[in-house]
Amino acid sequence: MGSTDAPRYAELDVGFTGDPLALVARLAGSGPHEDFVVYEDGGTWSYAGGALAEVRLDRHGATLDGAATARLPWDGDPLGQVRALLARVPVPGWRAYGTAAFELSYAKGGDRAHLDDETLLHLVVPVSEVRLSAGRAHVRCADQTALAALLDLLAAPDAPRVQDPVALDVRQVGRERYCASVAAAVGEIAEDRLQKVILSRLVEVDRGVDLVGTYVLGRRGNTPARSFLLRLGALEAAGFSPEIVVSVTADGVVASQPLAGTRALTPDPAANQRLGEELLASQKEVYEHAISVKVGNDELLTVCEPGSVTVRGLMSLEQRGSVQHLASRVTGRLVSGADAWDAFAAVFPAVTASGVPKEAAYDAIRRHEPEPRGLYGGAVLTVDESGALDAALVLRTVYRARGRTWLRAGAGIVGQSEPAREFEETCEKLDSVARFLVPAQVPVRVRA
């Protein structure tokens, strides 16, 4: 740290005109870096390309590569190792972007029994970063050639291409298996083995998909809390997150956002109002939401100042693309000595993607789902040197890796759940992505 040889960013502000969504998609699709993360947080769109430094975590330990290097063998505190490696990043004012797999939930307490060799967390401090907000682009770049390419892209006129999606019918596959899993989980709940579990199903996409085009059309057709588009090594994803896992400001204000309880969102306002009223009146949906909020509240109590944890907007209705949810926001202030990684460890994975109690839910998920989740139910996140962190829950996403493309969605199972209704809920959620799949311009080989 502090070496005169440490990478440094050239920084400048430039104006831009047009749609920031189209512009950030242009940076992703035509920019100078093969690997990138696009992240939307409120009114700010960020593009992060290339890697000055990378932190990776798996069952063997954590590594830092790039501007500095270090290897930390597994010691039972994986997020503590991530914190320690980020402290060694020799880039002034660094901000990292990356992913956390759902299976990090098993490892964060030291348990490796259910892990294979997958990457659990991957963070990148980029070579280039562009943040778009209110007609201004703040550009940071540690490479002059990449900087020139980015400035050219920012100055180029908008040239939108017509992109027609080909919708995927998600109702024709997986019904029997999913309904059987739901019925089994309802039986386990009746035996008091757990109170709630989110069970997901996977839908294969049997054609090539233009992920940048899908991201643009999907973002225009959704109303997410966060959105993201990424290519990190073999993993690609485009998603429209309905909620955050957790956010932490530089001065220690922490928030989570449980969404649980779902009805469809249709083109008919009168039907939406009726469905929203039905949602608010449903004993099953209100119970599902209430136990999720209680867990979210209890988790923040472990890392926040006494008396600071508050539930705001209890059971308000939030529209998220193809569905509407019961939503609440739990906020607090970190206790002295705690940081963003403590908050992330307390909350991850989101209760709305796991269940109650979490350990029992993990066991049910492993038994009833066809394969590990990977990024589904995990997080796309940003963290920076100031201590701020923002983690989007990975749902409503299209995934691609090693020639395979797929969608995945789940539903919250409680004692009153009916398998057919839970299957339909997964379809309603899948439609938030399945309606916007843009065919690839060049054929992509997919797994049968």
Question: Of 243, 288, 299, 369, which one is the catalytic site residue?
Answer: 243
Q: What string of DSSP letters covers 180-202?
A: HHHHHHHHHHHTTS-SEEEEEEE
Q: Tens digits of per-residue pLDDT, 183-226?
A: 999 999 999 999 999 999 999 999 999 999 999 999 999 999 99
Q: Inform me whether the pLDDT recorded for 445 exceeds 60.
A: no
Of 130, 126, 133, the closest CA to residue 44 belongs to 133
Q: Tens digits of per-residue pLDDT, 67-114?
A: 999 999 999 999 999 999 999 999 999 999 999 999 999 999 888 999
**End-to-end C-alpha distance for the chain, whole angstroms:** 49
% of the chain at pLDDT higher than 90: 83
Q: Please give the Cα distance from 89 to 206 (Å, whole number).
A: 41
Q: Inform me whether the pLDDT recorded for 446 exceeds 70.
A: no
Of 370, 349, 353, 359, the closest CA to residue 413 belongs to 353
Give the number of other Cβ atoms within 10 Å of residue 163's Cβ: 15
Confidence of residue 318 (pLDDT cuts 50, 70, 90): confident
Structure-derived torsion over alpha carbons of residues 238, 357, 412, 429, reported in degrees to the nearest 10 = -10
Give the mean pLDDT of 324-346.
95
SS3 content of the chain, % helix, strand, coil (to 5): 30, 35, 35
Instruction: Give the model's pLDDT for residue 329.
Output: 92
Instruction: Give the model's pLDDT for residue 418.
Output: 97
Q: Half-sphere exposure of residue 288, counting CA atoms within 13 Å on the CB side?
A: 30
Instruction: Give the model's pLDDT for residue 17.
Output: 86
Domains and CATH numbers, the chain: 175-208+244-371+402-434 (3.60.120.10)
Q: Please give the Cα distance from 179 to 425 (Å, whole number).
A: 12
Amino acid identity of residue 148, one-letter, is: A
Of 5, 54, 31, 314, the closest CA to residue 150 belongs to 31
Tokens of 447: 């797994």
Q: Check if the beta carbon of residue 331 is closer than 8 Å to that of residue 255.
A: yes
Amino acid identity of residue 448, one-letter, is: A
Q: Inform me whether the pLDDT recorded for 374 exceeds 90.
A: yes
Identify whether 243 is a catalytic site residue.
yes
Handedness of CA 272, 258, 396, 138 (dihedral sign): positive
Q: Please give the Cα distance from 434 to 397 (Å, whole number).
A: 9
Q: What string of DSSP letters covers 402-445?
A: TTEEEEEEEEEE-TT--HHHHHHHHHHHHHHHHTT-PBPSS---
Instruction: Give the model's pLDDT for residue 442.
Output: 54
Residue 334's DSSP bridge partners are 304
| CA geometry: angle 385, 391, 397, nearest 5 deg | 140
Lowest mean pLDDT among 106-115, 154-163, 374-383: 154-163
Give the residue, 43 or 369, on which the prediction is more confident.
369
Instruction: Give the model's pLDDT for residue 355.
Output: 95
